[in-house]
Structure 1
Amino acid sequence: MSAATRVYVARLAGTAVFDPNGDQVGRVRDVVILLRDRRAPRAVGLVVEVPGRRRVFLPLTRVTSIDAGQVISTGLVNMRRFEQRPHETLAIGELLDRRVQLVDGSGDATVEDLSIEQQRSGDWEVDKLFVRRTATHRSALGIRRRGETQVVDVDAVTGLAGSGSAQAATLLLAAYDELKAADLADVLHDMGDTRRLEVATALDNERLADVLEELPEDDQVAILQSLETDRAADVLEAMQPDDAADLLGELPDDQQAELLELMEPEEAKDVRRLLAYEDDTAGGLMTTEPVILGPETPIALALAHVRRKDVPPALASMVFVVRSPIETPTGRFLGVVHIQAMLREPPHQSIGSILDTDIEPVGPDASLARVTRVLATYNLLAVPVVDPEKRLVGAVSVDDVLDHMLPEDWRETDDEEDAGPGTPPGVAAQQSRPASPAQGATRG
């Protein structure tokens, strides 16, 4: 092992992992720790995220160097999806923010980071904790001061191996702050039930709404039901109406009605309308909030609308043009304007002058097969949905169609195809991960 012999794990998160040839294999997402009685905790491996958002286990015995900004492996990485075993603890996912007690009797502290050091035997052990003492006094203005920080030996505290229940998730979320919602959803799905709820509760409403949209239904329901009712309603408001309707459809009728009553009337109205349709129809698939504008709108303003951060990529591909009113159900549907067409024309020109009127809209009762054929026929990312009076009531995007065409457990499926031709050099798709005889159930 070369380079650093002591590493702080919070700083290790996100570090690129390379094979000996310099090809990137993935990025470090966590460190797997074994907590042991009367002995220093031992680090046995890294959780590495490889292409395809798969998280795999990389034993530290196959790490040849940990240096600033990079981890070098032997080039052999087991591509079987990482599954945490009962005796294992995730350093970032479970130990950061854990409340511990100082053995000198001076009080409690919170773990903000921990270091692992390589021993002469080659093993890596947790040797130091970076902790923040619990504040016990207030300033003259009555403001509670933050406790002082210090580095202590791991044996200078007790409680590190506790259950970790009711621990804050601030540092964990900071470590995963750069992740897209779908990637953070994968992280949450891999956590234990208790920690998943703790982390989800610590997210702000907008971020939690984005993550919920990417989670399997069972996880969505469990998280939503764990929230206080008022907050659950706020999170539903922050979700896309179609996703909120899908989630509410999984709840008991009385709980569904209670949450709808707590939501803002306008948001609840859209969701109620979607709940009235069958799941596999255009009405059940659509969102009521595509980008909708009048024909007189200048191209420059239309482009500003599709650039909004809250507009999903599929819906940002086009603007739906209608007569007033522009809230669904709108006035008469006129056609769509594709973003490529807008980019080719002067910014002051109105979108009504570049309408595409050849796209055939579908009705709310159109089948999934019908919607799919329209998307394929016109090479679209979204298709308009209109009522019998030709008023726009919503749009179905290709990602919503895929959600319903894929198997129900597609978010959880660990297809070996992910490790196929696109697998980078140095990543081997091994079929087994036998335990070392010396370690018993410990990973090899």
Structure 2
Amino acid sequence: MGRLAGCGVFDPVGDRVGRVRDVVVVYRKSSSPRVVGLVVEIPGRRRVFVSIGRITSIGSGQVITTGLINVRRFEQRGGEVRVIAEMIGRTVSFVNRSGDAVVEDVAVEKNRAGTWEVSQLFVRRPKHSASPFSRGSTEFATWQEVREQIRAGENQSAEHLIATYSDLKPADLANTLLDLPRERMLAVVGELPDNRLADVLEEMVESDQLEVLAALGDNRAADVLDNMQADDAADLIAQLPEDEGEHLLTLMEPEEAEDVRMLLAYGHDTAGGLMSPDPLVLSAEATVAEALALIRKHELAPAMAAAVCVTLPPYETPTGRLLGIVHFQRMLRYPPHERLGSILDEGLEVQVDTSAAEVTRILASYNLVSVPVVNGEDGLVGVVTVDDVLDHLLPDDWRSHEADDDLHTGPTPTISDPTLEEGERV
């Protein structure tokens, strides 16, 4: 399953249909769980069920289908178990020998009868050494050699599931978590590092954000808010009761809380309410080489790294008077020693109280990725990026599954024909 998760799904002519996100099995009394289908993510981040009868081959890092797929959103049925979401990380005991182990991976293969089933488990025994480098021994076991210690659907260790999802982008991980059973989702959330959870929360709708935040406890919630972008943290805190939001602000790091408080003071539909309070700032004497080194930082979002703001001192927001901005593409046209003050774009800024509609018009009119925001003294206080504007313009629930369906504009796989294979959804 470790190799199957995330691999491409293709139709018979080689066109990509989507990516595998999970395998659905059903338990049987006297034999290994039978595979009934795959959960496949198709364009639009929609997850659909592909019956195993529609799969012609699995191997070499790809899955080939008949090309006939029902694009109705996947909904787990009673008796079904998702291998990655629910089986990996589960504790099992050995039938004919002592000891427990944790399932780290699952192998599926086609048997002689032509049915796909769970063939082997890759399990890890508890470590017996006190060394921090010891992880315990591993081995393969058949389904018949082990017995689960908990019933299907109950919580299990989230550690291995997190490892399986380690390569997912925050938006994809957010969708993946929301597809899990609630208790399982909260267990995984509890194990995610603060910075990773912060990225994931930024990709959720407000109702889901509030549910996750409430489950964290105040201290952990404050730590996660510290790791969020200040504008996203402000939007989230603004949804809380005033006393609860203020309590979380007192638990946050003072510097991070100060940025959030500043953003909360502005109207939601103004430049001040949309902006990020941490623009890239340099002096007019800084060189192109210095500016390019600054925007190369890997933690910067592409939109934020699109331009550098040039101001008078001080260079921390609120800065001295804004002199102008220099876009990275312009930097590439000049030698490394060129001073930023000599290649400025001037007059491209908005006031903190500029309406969101006007900010959008300016970005569109001048083909900008970002625009600086200044206060009454023309001091730089932040920058509005195109993704901030898109978040404002799109419906509040655009990140939800239902909105994904409405916004789905990618190529749609062929809907299945009336002849249903075993396990097909109707």
TM-score, with length taken from structure 1: 0.88
Per-residue deviation, 1:122: 2.6
Per-residue deviation, 1:138: 3.6
2:414 to 428, 434, 442: 428
Matched, 1:379 2:367: yes
Task: Assess if the C-alpha contact under 8 Å between 1:98 and 1:164 holds in 2.
Answer: no
**Which digits, 9 at most, give the CA deviation of each residue in 1:336-382, with x for residues without a partner?**
111111110111111111110131x2222222212111111211111
Task: Assess if the C-alpha contact under 8 Å between 2:3 and 2:61 holds in 1.
Answer: no
1:418 to 404, 408, 424: 408
Per-residue deviation, 1:10: 2.0
- For the structure 1 residues 132 and 70, does the alpha-carbon distance in structure 2 shift closer, same or farther, using more than 3 Å as the test? same
- For the structure 1 residues 282 and 144, does the alpha-carbon distance in structure 2 shift closer, same or farther, using more than 3 Å as the test? closer
- For the structure 1 residues 263 and 374, does the alpha-carbon distance in structure 2 shift closer, same or farther, using more than 3 Å as the test? same
2-structure distance, mates of 1:320, 1:54: 39
Matching residue of 1:42: 34
Per-residue deviation, 1:26: 2.2
Alignment of 1:26-425 (within 5 A): 26-104=18-96, 106-135=98-127, 137-138=128-129, 145-159=134-148, 162=151, 165-359=154-348, 361-412=349-400, 413-415=403-405, 418=408, 420=410, 422-423=411-412
1-structure distance, mates of 2:279, 2:158: 34
Matching residue of 2:425: 443
Computed over aligned residues only, the root mean square deviation of the Cα atoms, in angstroms, reads: 2.4
Per-residue deviation, 1:434: 9.6
- For the structure 1 residues 158 and 61, does the alpha-carbon distance in structure 2 shift closer, same or farther, using more than 3 Å as the test? same
* Count of residue correspondences: 424
Per-residue deviation, 1:383: 1.7
Percent identical residues: 53
Matching residue of 1:5: none
- Give ranges in structure 1 of 5+ residues lacking alignment: 1-8
AA matched with 1:262:
L
2-structure distance, mates of 1:274, 1:200: 27
Task: Assess if the C-alpha contact under 8 Å between 1:45 and 1:60 holds in 2.
Answer: yes
What SS does the aligned partner of 2:6 have? Answer: coil
1-structure distance, mates of 2:132, 2:13: 54
Per-residue deviation, 1:127: 3.0
Task: Assess if the C-alpha contact under 8 Å between 1:44 and 1:443 holds in 2.
Answer: no
- For the structure 1 residues 435 and 271, does the alpha-carbon distance in structure 2 shift closer, same or farther, using more than 3 Å as the test? farther
1-structure distance, mates of 2:369, 2:196: 24
AA matched with 2:378:
K
2:12 to 6, 12, 20: 20
- For the structure 1 residues 306 and 101, does the alpha-carbon distance in structure 2 shift closer, same or farther, using more than 3 Å as the test? same
**Which digits, 9 at most, give the CA deviation of each residue in 1:43-91, with x for residues without a partner?**
1111222333332222111111112222111112222332333432211
Per-residue deviation, 1:204: 1.6
1-structure distance, mates of 2:89, 2:211: 23
1-structure distance, mates of 2:298, 2:368: 21
Matching residue of 1:3: none
Per-residue deviation, 1:196: 1.6
Per-residue deviation, 1:221: 1.6
- For the structure 1 residues 164 and 241, does the alpha-carbon distance in structure 2 shift closer, same or farther, using more than 3 Å as the test? same
